[in-house]
Structure 1
Amino acid sequence: MQDPLPTLKQLRYFAVLAQCGQYRRAAEQLDLSQPSLSQQITALESTLEVALVERGRRGVVLTPAGREVLGHCQGILDGVEQLMGLSRSLQEGVSGTLRLAATSTIGPYVLPQLLRHLHAVHPDLKLLARDGAPAELLEELKTGRHDLVLAQLPVRSDDLVSVPLYREPLLLAVARDHPLAGKALIEKQDLEGLDMLSLGATYALKTQIARLSADAGANLRDDYEGTSLDALRQMVAMNMGVTLLPSLYVRSEVHETDGDVVVVPMKGGLFRTVGLLWRKTSGKPALMRRFRDAAETVVSDVFKDRVTALRP
């Protein structure tokens, strides 16, 4: 049978008694009767099997054992107070660790600004971030490896919550010497017969490029699937086909005057929706809200010339 342990209430009563030096004052501060306080101190002494206090004519005197116990007692009470402070911070979403992942067509172009903003606003919030392929990240999200994933929507899953953040234009990328490079606006019929390049099937962007190819009569190349947006751009630069590139990637990686490719908007516009995903059962709702608020701020302030913020 396990030995009885002192309670936090007993430790707190003992600390207050030692500070006040009198049962009467300590009992008043604790809003207790003196007999009740005395019973709690006696119970603590019984549990620890040492005498902690001596009653004197001028009040309470700590025994040598009582002085030793008081030091440990105060450390325990301070630790509990720190734990409660941490709990309040976690409830408010201003501290703790958040494990974030983003798909590779989004993360490199959004996360640096987002992490910089979060560090400035919530310095006690620790972020662990990585990017990867969508299917892999979503599976890792479901199994608890990540708390949040930034990905292209929609993602259909009964286990996940999704919140849209922004709508991002998709621009047609062609080689600088391509006949379409000089056009101000691309119409679907301009793509008829052209080779279209795409990422692998795990990327939602592949579905949009395939749909555009079918609608426009373009040839979706199945002999080559890019592993990154950089790889697609380089293939386009070598005149191996055309493709769609997201606006924030273009902002970061395509130079308007001397880039290796030219980007042109599509008539009527083509877009993708990007948002946040987390588990419905996640135990960090406040942190999720803090991150979502920060992401919305960065989208509205930093990327407003390229994307349209979507408020839930």
Structure 2
Amino acid sequence: MILAKKSPSLRQLQYFLSVAEFGSYRRAAEELGVSQPALTSQIASLEAMLGLTLLERSRNGTLPSPEGRELLQQAREVLLAMRGFSDSAELLSLGHQTTYKLGIPPTVGPYLLPNVLGELHERYHDMKLYVREGAPRALQQELIEGGLDLAIVPLPLVSPDLAIEPLFTEPLKFVVPAEHRLAGRQVVTPSQLRGESVLVLEEKHHFHHQVHDLCDKLGATVLRDYEGTSLDTLRQMVVMGLGVAFLPGLYVHSEMHIPEALHVCELKSMPINRQHALVWRASAPGRIFYRELAAYLRNIIKQRLGDVVSVF
């Protein structure tokens, strides 16, 4: 008689993956909602079953062993495939009556989502969205690894693992404090920005790099010592006279109906914008629905924000 070899459970693979990613049994246990002894016991059983040491503890935390590193990506792929199987079954049985995890940058989410979620809920009233903010690169990685179902991120984006559906183009506005030499002008020329001190967001934001490249072209100086943590802090630093800044059109539309101590300008003959797209894993079981969702989002954005952004 041939005895079937016992295989690791999905729970054990999830535990292994969590400890490896958090670098800590304690933090992984908290995230998973289990006791640390139960987590440790499951990892020990997995290692005994495989005949391998997967994780190594040290003073600096817990790290995958060389063997653990070899198996980490396969464990992630097994869990992602199982999730895809479950999602496909749910889509077939319940239509769109499910919860989707949506990632979006903090420089877009608060100023876009309030304008689209109401109509989106009316159209897909059984669909629920769990929204998570993060930097674009982190959202992209989380999407590939299965932590998110969808994300709205800036373009350009090239990845064979992701399907990309462009949504809209958003203009950038040039803002100066009330006492600035350019205040009161509706339009300024690119040459007038030469030598200006420009405030930017922290480097983790995609917006930071776009403004940095723009300043290089204009001959302006980026104030690296005064980087903002959010668009609101950037705005307040302009108000206080620390420098000038570029702000996204959706933010200006949403937050600056009565610009206090600020003036908004346009750059003559030099439209500046950023593009946004809805993205998902190319292999996602809900990809047909996601494309439909992108089309409906474009329609809502055009109707409600067509005077602020340009829709693809």
What TM-score do the two structures reach when normalised by structure 1? 0.68
- For 1:18-61, what per-residue CA distance to the aligned partner results, in whole angstroms no more than 9, with x for missing partners? xxxxxxxxxxxxxxxxxxxxxxxxxxxxxxxxxxxxxxxxxxxx
1:168 to 167, 170, 186: 170
Aligned to 2:228: 226
Aligned to 2:264: 263
SS of structure 2 residue aligned to 1:299: helix
Structure 1 residues 260 and 144, CA gap change in structure 2 (3 angstroms): farther
The CA distance in 2 between the partners of 1:84 and 1:172, in whole Å, is 49
Deviation at 1:124, TM superposition (A): 0.9
- For 1:264-306, what per-residue CA distance to the aligned partner results, in whole angstroms no more than 9, with x for missing partners? 1111211111111111121211331232122112111000001
What amino acid is the match of 1:150? I
Deviation at 1:122, TM superposition (A): 1.1
Aligned to 2:52: none
Is the 1:198–1:206 Cα contact (8 Å) retained in structure 2? yes
What amino acid is the match of 1:226? G
- For 1:189-237, what per-residue CA distance to the aligned partner results, in whole angstroms no more than 9, with x for missing partners? 1111110111122322222211221122211112122111111111111
Aligned to 2:107: 105
The CA distance in 1 between the partners of 2:308 and 2:249, in whole Å, is 6
- For 1:237-275, what per-residue CA distance to the aligned partner results, in whole angstroms no more than 9, with x for missing partners? 11111111111100011134x424221111121111111
Structure 1 residues 207 and 241, CA gap change in structure 2 (3 angstroms): same
SS of structure 2 residue aligned to 1:155: coil
For structure 2, the residue ranges without an aligned partner over 5 or more in a row are 1-87
Identity %: 36
Structure 1 residues 84 and 236, CA gap change in structure 2 (3 angstroms): closer
Query: Superposed, which structure 2 residues align to 1:1-312 within 5 Å?
Result: 87=92, 89-90=94-95, 94-256=96-258, 258-268=259-269, 269-310=271-312
SS of structure 2 residue aligned to 1:162: strand
Deviation at 1:180, TM superposition (A): 1.0
What amino acid is the match of 1:128? Y
Deviation at 1:88, TM superposition (A): 5.8
SS of structure 2 residue aligned to 1:226: coil
What amino acid is the match of 2:260? G
Structure 1 residues 114 and 216, CA gap change in structure 2 (3 angstroms): same
The CA distance in 2 between the partners of 1:238 and 1:85, in whole Å, is 53
Structure 1 residues 84 and 226, CA gap change in structure 2 (3 angstroms): closer
Structure 1 residues 96 and 189, CA gap change in structure 2 (3 angstroms): same
Deviation at 1:150, TM superposition (A): 0.6
Is the 1:188–1:215 Cα contact (8 Å) retained in structure 2? no
SS of structure 1 residue aligned to 2:157: coil
Bigger Rg, which one: 1
The CA distance in 2 between the partners of 1:137 and 1:228, in whole Å, is 17
Structure 1 residues 85 and 128, CA gap change in structure 2 (3 angstroms): closer
What amino acid is the match of 1:125? M
Is the 1:134–1:203 Cα contact (8 Å) retained in structure 2? yes
Aligned to 1:51: none
Deviation at 1:85, TM superposition (A): 9.6
SS of structure 1 residue aligned to 2:223: strand
Is the 1:185–1:264 Cα contact (8 Å) retained in structure 2? yes
What TM-score do the two structures reach when normalised by structure 2? 0.68
The CA distance in 1 between the partners of 2:188 and 2:143, in whole Å, is 38
What amino acid is the match of 2:92? S
The CA distance in 2 between the partners of 1:183 and 1:211, in whole Å, is 24
Deviation at 1:181, TM superposition (A): 1.4
Is the 1:300–1:309 Cα contact (8 Å) retained in structure 2? yes
For structure 1, the residue ranges without an aligned partner over 5 or more in a row are 1-82
Structure 1 residues 184 and 126, CA gap change in structure 2 (3 angstroms): same
Is the 2:177–2:263 Cα contact (8 Å) retained in structure 1? yes
What amino acid is the match of 2:215? S
